[in-house]
Chains A and B, each alone.
Chain A
Amino acid sequence: MCPLDHSAPGPLSADQPSGSTQATESRIWPSEGYTRAPYWVYQDAETFLQEQEKIFRGPNWHYLGLEAEVKDPGSFKSTYIGEQSVILTRAEDGSLHAMVNRCAHRGNMMTREAFGTAKKLYCVYHAWSYTLKGDLSHAAFSQGLRGEGGLPKDFKHADHGLQKLRLETLCGLVFATFSDETVPLEEWLGEVAHGIRRVLKKPLKVLGYDTQRIHANWKAYHENPRDSYHANILHTFYGTFGLSRMSQESGMILDKTGRHVYFYTKAGTEKKSEDYEKTSSQLRSHNDGLKLEDPSILKWTDEYGDGVSVQILTTYPGFVLHQIANSLATRQICTKGAGQTDLVWTYFGFEDDDAEMTERRLVQTNLAGSAGMISVEDAAVCEMMQHAIGDAQKGQSFIEMGGKDLDISGSSKLSERAIRNFWHHYKTDMNF
Chain B
Amino acid sequence: MTEFENHYRPVEQLIYAWARTIDEDRVESIADLMQESGRYRVQSRFNHDRDLPLAVIDCKGVAQLRDRILSMRKANVYQPHHYRHMISGIQIISEPEPKVFEVRSNFLIVRTMDLSGDMKIFATGQTQDLISFQHDKPQFKDRLFIYDSRVIETLMIIPL
Query: CB of A49 within 8 A of chain B?
Result: no
Q: Could you tell me which residues of chain B, from 26 to 66, have a CB within 8 Å of some CB in chain A? A: 42, 44, 46-47, 50, 52-61, 63-64, 66
Binds A, one of B73-81, B86-94, B95-103, B133-141: B73-81
Residues of B within 8 A of A356 (CB): none
Residue contact A211 to B75, C-beta cutoff 8 Å: no
Closest chain A residue to B158, Cβ basis: A371
Residue contact B67 to A213, C-beta cutoff 8 Å: no
Residues of A within 8 A of B79 (CB): 380, 383-384
Residue contact A373 to B75, C-beta cutoff 8 Å: yes
In the bound complex, how far is the Cα of B50 from the Cα of A115, in angstroms? 10
In the bound complex, how far is the Cα of B116 from the Cα of A159, in angstroms? 53
Residues of A within 8 A of B55 (CB): 208, 362, 365
Provide the main secondary structure of the chain A interface. mixed
Residue contact B56 to A215, C-beta cutoff 8 Å: no
Query: CB of B148 within 8 A of chain A?
Result: no
In the bound complex, how far is the Cα of B64 from the Cα of A302, in angstroms? 23
Which of B50, B75, B150 is A237 in contact with, Cβ under 8 Å?
Answer: B75
Residue contact A347 to B58, C-beta cutoff 8 Å: no
Query: CB of B70 within 8 A of chain A?
Result: yes
Closest chain B residue to A358, Cβ basis: B53
Q: Could you tell me which residues of chain A, from 320 to 373, have a CB within 8 Å of some CB in chain B? A: 342, 347, 358, 362-363, 365-366, 369-373
Residue contact B76 to A376, C-beta cutoff 8 Å: yes
In the bound complex, how far is the Cα of B160 from the Cα of A54, in angstroms? 41
Residue contact A383 to B154, C-beta cutoff 8 Å: yes
Closest chain A residue to B116, Cβ basis: A387
Among A210, A240, A384: residue with most chain B CB under 10 A: A210
Residues of A within 8 A of B71 (CB): 237, 290, 373
Closest chain A residue to B43, Cβ basis: A208
Query: CB of B114 within 8 A of chain A?
Result: no
Binds B, one of A169-177, A179-187, A292-300: A292-300
Residue contact B151 to A362, C-beta cutoff 8 Å: no
In the bound complex, how far is the Cα of B115 from the Cα of A101, in angstroms? 40
Which of A212, A294, A379, A380 is B61 in contact with, Cβ under 8 Å?
Answer: A294
Which of A363, A370, A380 is B60 in contact with, Cβ under 8 Å?
Answer: A363
In the bound complex, how far is the Cα of B151 from the Cα of A234, in angstroms? 24
Residue contact A293 to B152, C-beta cutoff 8 Å: no
Residues of B within 8 A of A115 (CB): 50
Residue contact B47 to A208, C-beta cutoff 8 Å: yes
Residue contact B77 to A207, C-beta cutoff 8 Å: no
Query: CB of B119 within 8 A of chain A?
Result: no
Query: CB of B85 within 8 A of chain A?
Result: no
In the bound complex, how far is the Cα of B70 from the Cα of A284, in angstroms? 15
Residue contact B151 to A213, C-beta cutoff 8 Å: yes
Query: CB of B153 within 8 A of chain A?
Result: yes
Residue contact A362 to B75, C-beta cutoff 8 Å: no
Query: CB of B155 within 8 A of chain A?
Result: yes
Residue contact B150 to A209, C-beta cutoff 8 Å: yes
Which of B54, B66, B75 is A208 in contact with, Cβ under 8 Å?
Answer: B54
Other A-B pairs beyond A211-B150, A237-B75, A371-B42, 9, CB < 8 Å:
A210-B152, A212-B154, A213-B151, A365-B55, A366-B59, A369-B56, A371-B57, A373-B68, A377-B78
Q: Which 6 A-B pairs have the closest CB atoms?
A: A208-B54, A294-B63, A208-B52, A370-B152, A236-B75, A371-B156
A-B contact pairs, 26 of them (CB 8 A): A115-B50, A207-B53, A207-B54, A208-B44, A208-B52, A208-B53, A209-B52, A209-B54, A213-B151, A215-B154, A234-B77, A236-B76, A237-B75, A290-B75, A292-B70, A293-B66, A294-B64, A294-B67, A365-B54, A366-B58, A369-B56, A370-B154, A371-B152, A380-B78, A380-B154, A383-B79
Binding site for A on B (CB under 8 A): 42, 44, 46-47, 50, 52-61, 63-64, 66-68, 70-71, 74-79, 150-157
